[in-house]
Amino acid sequence: MTFLHTLVDNCRRLKDKVAIEILGSDDKPLTYGQLEEKVQQTMAYLQQRGVQRGDRVALQLPKGLPFIYVHLAIMRLGAISLPLNPAYPPHELAYFLQDAAAALFIAHEDNRDTVQSILAPLPDLKNVVYLRGEGNAHFLELLADVDVRPAQLPPIPADPELTALMIYTSGTTGRPKGAMITHGNLSANIDALHSAWGWRQDDVLLHVLPIFHVHGLVVALHGAFNAGATTLIMLKFDARRTLDILVRRKCTVFMAVPTIHRMLLAVPDAANYDLSQMRLLTSGSDRLPDDTFEAFRQTFGHTLLERYGMTETGMNLSNPLYGERRVGSVGLPLPGVQVRVVDSQSGEILSDGEVGELQIRGSHVCKGYWRQPEKTLEAFTADGWLKTGDLGMREPDGYFTLKGRSKDLIISGGLNVYPPEVELVLAGHPAISASAVIGCPDPKWGERVTAVIVPADGTSPSEEEIVDHCRNRLAPYKAPKQVIFVDALPRTALGKIQKAQLRESLCSDRDSRLGEWRTGDSKN
């Protein structure tokens, strides 16, 4: 049984139960029975558009029902769902469509100009569909013309090795890579989380995250579908509205990143919201600072459940539902997940209490990177362990603690920003002779993308000019929030930039303490 088999079974058993409600939209709440009907219509629609098993179908749609129908229908056809951030500028979008050799692209009308500007060099892209307006209405019009013959729809893919989902992750070198997540990976992870977090059919999930990442899509949305639970979808995160809905709609489950938890705590009368009906509030995608963990407990009377995952694996470690949720720890391996700590220089497996690279193995780990066999080889050990690039250690009682990263990575508001990607863009600016991108502690974002720039001789670029240069070429969250000009970058004898030294000397003393952010210290 894969995740999709369970979902279809839920759609049959719970046909009158609300599966999804889009908050604040004209779209009516959708039952599980209606979800199955719409997914089947979408499958037939995609078939008419020529989608076949194995095809990559890119979708760059706002959060909403059409995204969900299309994503599920693609996977049901045995094709590969490729969700993309709606904020990608043309340069990034073109790369993803080209690299994935997408056969069909479903985009929003608002992005038509961007899409049209990049279509010429994309020979594999046979077809682009634009959806108009907000919500469901236009997509339903498209589906209205479709003749659905269930007998002509293929059976639910049963091959666990078949790729279901592709999500791009960047790296410390080169361009982003598409992690190939199989039906087997999705099912293994969802099953593990279902039991570890005690998902229930009567759960009500308030969903505030983007749905083009593993966190919002797989952990939250697939998790709720798998349980037959009800998902309330908030289209744009708003802290006060979140608290209001959690209370008013008697939500039981909420999943977020530390930045969002801090934003909830910053609502002036946060403590007046009674969240006592909730049973599970999780935190992930970035380390949860101890002060946020404590403040959350004091303000809401709930102990956040911190867990650790990544795009390539889904979830790996989690604090327990019952038992100690340890401050500063990402908890214990989920069922079926093997975790070890390795000295990445010598390859030696380390003992409890020793810090090394976390390596992961299990049927939830993706099968590799799309058309990048060398990168896949580099990412895994010969015996199949994924090298996470995260440093950590195991306590004698089995709890794991993260201790930093061996990879050059910034996590801003739960989103990964790879400095080399930003540095490559900065290198294209004529007034920059050298640059280094570092993460400085930030009270809202956790880390703030900071560009350290050596101007080219005889030039004096402005901060604004540099930020604009990046925003035109990268998704907005990757653009520097701060630019610092220096005469030279500190380098080792071999010419490598010493980023630790830059962080030490240039990151201001603002830290991630909640109190400072509450005083409105942060930009944005």
Which spans of this chain sit near ligand MLC (rule: CB under 6 A)? 209-210, 213-216, 237, 257, 259-260, 284-285, 309-311, 412-415, 445, 476-477, 524
Which tokens go with 179?
A: 């992690």
Min dist. Cβ of residue 83 to ligand MLC (A): 11
Nearer of residues 38 and 325 to ligand MLC, judged by Cβ: 325
Residue number, 439 or 455, with CB nearest to ligand MLC: 439
Number of H-type helices and E-type strands within the chain: 17, 24
Cβ at position 9, least distance to ligand MLC in Å: 27
The DSSP 8-state label assigned to residue 491 in this structure reads B
Least Å distance between CB 309 and ligand MLC? 3
User: Phi/psi at 438 (nearest 5 deg)?
Assistant: -130, 160
Read off the DSSP letter of residue 437: E
| Least CB distance to ligand MLC at residue 223 (A) | 12
CA distances from 230 to 35, 62, 496 (A): 12, 20, 51
CB of 215 or CB of 326, closer to ligand MLC: 215
Contact 283, 304 (CB under 8 A): yes
The least distance separating ligand MLC from the CB of residue 145, rounded to whole angstroms, comes to 35
CB of 56 to ligand MLC, least distance (A): 20
Q: Which is nearer to ligand MLC, 210 or 455 (CB)?
A: 210
Cβ proximity to ligand MLC: between 51 and 417 the closer is 417
Q: What is the DSSP letter of 331?
A: B
The tokens for 147 are: 């003749």
Q: What are the distances in angstroms from CA 508 to CA 184, 248, 440, 517?
A: 46, 41, 8, 14
Residue pair 180/368 in contact by the 8 Å Cβ criterion: yes
Q: Which is nearer to ligand MLC, 32 or 370 (CB)?
A: 370
Shortest separation between residue 187's beta carbon and ligand MLC, angstroms: 18
The residues, ordered by sequence, that sit 6+ positions from 345 with a Cβ below 8 Å of its Cβ are: none
Which residue's beta carbon is nearest to the bound ligand MLC? 413
Per residue, what are the HEC states of 199-245? CCCCCEEEECCCCCCHHHHHHHHHHHHHHCCEEEECCCCCHHHHHHH
Nearer to ligand MLC, 213 or 361 (CB): 213
